[in-house]
Amino acid sequence: MKPILEIHQVSKTFRLLHEQQSYLNLRDSIAGLFKPSKTERELFHALREVSFRVMPGDTLGIIGKNGAGKSTLLKVLSKITPPTAGKITVRGRIASLLEVGTGFHGELSGRENIFFNGSILGMKREEIKKHFDAIVDFSGTEKFLDTPLKHYSSGMQLRLAFAVAAFLEPEILIIDEVLAVGDAEFQNRCLGKMEEVSKSGRTILFVSHNLKAVQTLCKRAILLERGQVKMDTEQVSEAIRLYLSSGSSESRQRWLATDTHYNDPNFAPKSLSIVDANGHLVEQALQNREAYFVRIEAEIQEPNSALTVGYAIYSEDGLLIYSSYQNDCATGTVDLLQAGTYTFTAPIPSSILNEGDYRIELLASLHYIRWICEPGKDVPTINITMNDLPTDSPFWMSKRPGILAPALPWKIVPQNS
C-alpha cells in the first residue's frame, strides 16, 4: 500500500523586514519616499528539511512548542503556501480546518458556504446534498442558515467549518489548534467525531496543545522543534514526555517584550509575571495557600472599547483549566481605556490547583473582532509550579488525583434519630 502523504525534505523560509525608523508624521513619510530605505531583511526558517510518510487510516498528532513550525507545516500540506524546497506527494482529497473562516466567504450565507466549501473540496452537488442535514444538525446552525457568515460568532463559524470538513468525507482531514475556540461541549463532540472518522479508515493530521486529546486520538506522533522533526514515533506518550521535558530547561516565570515582538497599537504587552500580595515579583515555586497575582504591563496607543485582556492557565499536559478576563465581573458599561501604559492585575485562586507545573498564557483581543494574543498561538507565556497541597489535612500525604484539588469546607450534621 502506498502512503497517502509523502513529505520529502520540505523546507519553508520567510523573509522578515525590519524598518530602521521611529514613528513618522505625514510630512516625514512623504519625504522618506525620496530617501534610501533602511529596511533590513532577515531569513526565518520555519521548516528545515522535514520528511515523513503517512499511511491511509493513520491518526497523526503533531506537537511542539509555539513557533516550532506546526501551523506552517499544515499550511504547506494544505497548499495554502508553497514550500521553499522539497517535495510533497498527496494521494487523496484534503480538507483543512486551520483558522476560523478559512475557505468560507463572509458575504455568503451558511447554506451557501456549505455548498461553496464542498465544491472547493471537489464534491459534486448531489454528494453535498446527501450530507447537508447531518452538517447542519452537528453544527447547530439551523436557525442561521440563511444569515451571512460575517454575522456569525467565531464559535458558530468553527462549528460549521468543522461539520463541513468532517462530513464531506475527505480522505485526509487536517485540523490545527482552531478547536480551542469552541466551548468544552463542542470540543468533546469534535474529538468524538474525529475518532469516528479515523475508524472509518480516513487519515487525520491533528495539531493541538491539548496533549490528552492527542494521546487519546492519535496512534502516532511527530514532535517538531525549531522547524525540524525531533521525534517520529508510534509511542505517543514518549513523544509527549520528550516534549514536556524539553521545555523544562527553558521554563521561565517572567516574560518581557524583548523576548517576542508585539507592536499592536490597540494593545502592546510589555511584561507578564507573577507577584505576591505586596506586589513583589515571585520567581520561585508558589505556595498554594498564599495570595498570588498575574500581572500584565502593556501600552495602548489607539483606544478601543472592544479591548479585552485576560489570561489562561493550562496543566502540564496542555489541558485548559480556566481563563479569566478583565471584564468578567463587569456589571455595566466598561470604561474606555485611554492611550497610555497600564498594569493589569488578576488573582490566581488559592487552595484550588493541585501540586504540579502549569503554563500561563496572556490573552488579548478586540472582542468579536480579532485576536491580538490568540490562545494556543505564539503568545506571551510563563510557567509556574505549585509545590504543596491545597489542604493541611493529614489524610493527604502525597499529591491528590486530578488537576484541581480544592480545599472545600465540608459540613457534617447528624440526623435526628
Residue 86 has pLDDT above 60, yes or no: yes
* Calculated CA dihedral for residues 374, 379, 380, 382, nearest 10 degrees: 90
Q: Which of 18-27, 36-45, 173-182 has the lowest mean pLDDT?
A: 18-27
Closest to 21 measured CA to CA, from 2, 39, 7, 6: 39
In 17-84, where does DSSP find H-type helix? 26-32, 70-77
Q: What is the pTM of this model?
A: 0.61
- How much is the average pLDDT of 202-229? 86
The pLDDT of residue 363 is 93
Evaluated on CA atoms 259, 261, 263, 264, the torsion sign reads: negative
Q: How confident is the model at residue 202 (pLDDT cuts 50, 70, 90)?
A: confident
The two beta strands, 203-207 and 172-175, are: parallel
CA distance 234 to 36: 54
The pLDDT of residue 343 is 95
Three-state DSSP string of 227-254: CEEEEEECCHHHHHHHHHHHCHHHCCCE
Strand positions, DSSP E, 234-377 = 254-256, 268-276, 292-300, 307-315, 320-325, 340-348, 356-366, 370-373
The pLDDT of residue 250 is 43
Q: Which of 130-134, 138-142, 382-386, 398-402 has the lowest mean pLDDT?
A: 398-402
Q: How far apart are the first and last CA of the chain?
A: 74
Q: How confident is the model at residue 4 (pLDDT cuts 50, 70, 90)?
A: very high
> pLDDT tens-digit profile of 362-402?
999 998 888 998 887 778 888 888 876 666 666 665 677 78
Q: How confident is the model at residue 104 (pLDDT cuts 50, 70, 90)?
A: confident
Q: Which helix (H) or strand (E) holds 110?
A: helix 110-120
Instruction: State which amino acid sits at residue 282.
Output: V
Q: How confident is the model at residue 213 (pLDDT cuts 50, 70, 90)?
A: confident
Instruction: Report the DSSP beta bridge partners of residue 347.
Output: 293
CA distance 129 to 363: 40
User: Domain 5-248: which topology?
Assistant: Rossmann fold (3.40.50)
The pLDDT of residue 289 is 78
Percent of the chain topping pLDDT 70: 83
∠ Cα 130 132 134 (to 5°)? 100
Q: Buried b vs exposed e over 162-192: b needs ≥16 C-beta within 10 Å?
A: bbbbbbbbbbbbbbbbbbbbbeeebbebbbe
The torsion angles phi and psi of 388, rounded to 5 degrees, stand at: -140, 165
Evaluated on CA atoms 102, 123, 74, 359, the torsion sign reads: positive
Beta carbons of 52 and 232 less than 8 angstroms apart: yes
What's the whole-number average pLDDT of the chain? 82
CA distance 381 to 34: 42
Q: Is 29 helix (H, G, I), strand (E, B) or coil?
A: helix
The pLDDT of residue 29 is 60
Closest to 58 measured CA to CA, from 219, 225, 229: 219
Domain 5-248 matches domain 254-386 at the CATH topology level: no
Residue 342 has pLDDT above 50, yes or no: yes
Helix count and strand count (H, E) for the chain: 8, 18
- How much is the average pLDDT of 237-257? 70
Count of C-beta atoms within a 10 Å radius of residue 127:
14
C-alpha cell at 417: 434519630
Count of C-beta atoms within a 10 Å radius of residue 134:
13
> pLDDT tens-digit profile of 392-413?
666 665 677 788 888 888 899 9
Is the pLDDT higher at 234 or at 32? Answer: 234
The pLDDT of residue 324 is 93
Is the pLDDT higher at 158 or at 181? Answer: 158
Percent of the chain topping pLDDT 90: 25
> pLDDT tens-digit profile of 187-196?
777 778 888 8
Residue 148 has pLDDT above 70, yes or no: yes
Q: How confident is the model at residue 248 (pLDDT cuts 50, 70, 90)?
A: very low
The pLDDT of residue 39 is 57
The pLDDT of residue 51 is 94
The pLDDT of residue 10 is 93
Q: How many CA atoms lie within 13 A of 358 on its CB side?
A: 25
Beta carbons of 56 and 4 less than 8 angstroms apart: yes
The two beta strands, 228-233 and 254-256, are: unpaired
- How much is the average pLDDT of 251-271? 79
Instruction: Report the DSSP beta bridge partners of residue 366.
Output: 307, 370
CA distance 198 to 204: 7
- CATH code that applies to domain 254-386: 2.70.50.60
CA distance 112 to 128: 11
Spell out the domain ranges in the chain: 5-248, 254-386
Helix 125-139 and helix 110-120: axis angle, to 10°?
Answer: 130
Evaluated on CA atoms 347, 351, 352, 355, the torsion sign reads: positive
- How much is the average pLDDT of 310-327? 88
CA distance 347 to 325: 11
